[in-house]
């Protein structure tokens, strides 16, 4: 129970990787607040976690909306205590070739994936600086490091998340706060289930460990990065991709 008495906010916690991260952190003893635009989904996930012996609650948050983000952090502070852990996991894709990409698809992806991580990290840092402790983990992506066909908006947002991680890590290290990112490769979730079978097989051929990643692979890494086991690690990007990018 390494995270006993810790309060964590996991954005996009209703499903996929965020859900598995939330389950993992509650197993380690944390109370997890699942923040999601999909409140019903987040409530159902929180209920499932509570029914299996964990401690979780759900809040509605659109991470790209600064007012909502501030209200959620104020609520957690009043309801529980300052946040100890924030996992910026909420993210979307709106893929298309760059020459045909709609400006609205560029803006939406940048607003949720990058600005959302900025807004939540800013509120988190304010609370954590007062307590002189805390950890933030940003979920970036392999395509933020290497680019990807049809993902100009998404890869730019995730490259931005990596820059944000390194800058914030430098700014808050002296206050005892660590900030790291995970750049997952292709993980088996709703987001990648839209790929047709041929594309999936081609992807797997490029992965030395010969499989897509699992949400559990990401969740265990998050658990490590928010625990004292990684107390000398900050400003890093962990490439979690089965060897696809070395």
- Site string (110-149) toward ligand NAI, x via CB under 6 A: --x---x----------------------x-x--------
Burial of 16-47, coded b for 16+ CB within 10 Å and e otherwise, reads bbbbbbbbbbbbbebbbbbbbbbeebbbbbbe
CA distances from 96 to 43, 113, 152, 155 (A): 32, 17, 8, 12
To the nearest whole angstrom, how small is the minimum distance from the Cβ of residue 212 to ligand NAI?
A: 7
Binding positions for ligand NAI, 77-96, rule CB under 6 A: 89-92
What percentage of the chain's residues is helix, strand, coil (to nearest 5)?
A: 50, 15, 30
Give the chain's length. 246
- Token digits for 45? 């996930």
- The answer to whether residue 232 is catalytic is no
The only residue of 51, 78, 99, 190 in contact with ligand NAI, by rule CB under 6 A: 190
- Site string (25-44) toward ligand NAI, x via CB under 6 A: -----------xxx--x---
Residue 11 lies near ligand NAI (rule: CB under 6 A): yes
Distance CA(19)–CA(30), nearest Å, equals 14
To the nearest whole angstrom, how small is the minimum distance from the Cβ of residue 62 to ligand NAI?
A: 4
Active-site option among 73, 106, 154, 186: 154
Binding positions for ligand NAI, 45-84, rule CB under 6 A: 61-64
- Ranges of H-type helices in the chain: 16-27, 39-51, 66-79, 103-109, 116-131, 142-146, 152-172, 190-193, 197-205, 215-226
CB distance 13 to 42 below 8 Å: yes
Query: For ligand NAI, how many residues bind (rule: CB under 6 A)?
Result: 30
To the nearest whole angstrom, how small is the minimum distance from the Cβ of residue 136 to ligand NAI?
A: 14
To the nearest whole angstrom, how small is the minimum distance from the Cβ of residue 68 to ligand NAI?
A: 8
Nearer CB in complex with ligand NAI: 63/85: 63
CA distances from 228 to 76, 83, 117, 219 (A): 23, 16, 23, 16
Task: Give residues in contact with ligand NAI (CB under 6 A).
Answer: 11-12, 14-18, 36-38, 41, 61-64, 89-92, 112, 116, 139, 141, 184, 186-187, 189-192
Residues marked active site are found at 154
């Amino acid at each position: 129970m390494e995270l006993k008495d810790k309060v964590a906010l996991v954005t996009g916690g209703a499903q996929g990787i965020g859900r598995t991260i939330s389950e993992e952190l509650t197993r380690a003893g944390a109370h997890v607040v699942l923040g999601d635009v999909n409140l019903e989904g987040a409530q159902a996930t929180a209920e499932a976690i509570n029914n299996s012996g964990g401690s979780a609650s759900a809040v509605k948050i659109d991470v790209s909306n600064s007012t909502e983000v501030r209200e959620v952090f104020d609520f957690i502070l009043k309801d529980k205590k300052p946040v100890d852990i924030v996992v910026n996991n909420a993210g979307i894709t709106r893929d298309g070739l760059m020459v045909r990409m709609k400006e609205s698809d560029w803006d939406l992806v940048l607003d949720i994936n990058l600005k959302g991580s900025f807004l939540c990290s800013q509120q988190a840092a304010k609370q954590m600086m007062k307590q002189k402790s805390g950890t933030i983990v940003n979920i970036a992506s392999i395509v933020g490091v290497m680019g990807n066909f049809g993902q100009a908006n998404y890869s730019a947002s995730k490259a931005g998340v990596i820059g944000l991680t390194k800058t914030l890590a430098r700014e808050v290290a002296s206050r005892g706060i660590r900030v790291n990112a995970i750049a997952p490769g292709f993980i088996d979730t709703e987001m990648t289930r839209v790929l047709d079978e041929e594309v999936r097989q081609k992807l797997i051929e490029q992965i030395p460990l010969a499989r897509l990643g699992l949400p559990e692979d990401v969740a265990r890494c998050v658990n490590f990065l928010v625990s004292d086991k990684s107390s000398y690690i900050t400003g890093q990007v962990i490439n979690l991709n089965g060897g696809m990018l070395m």
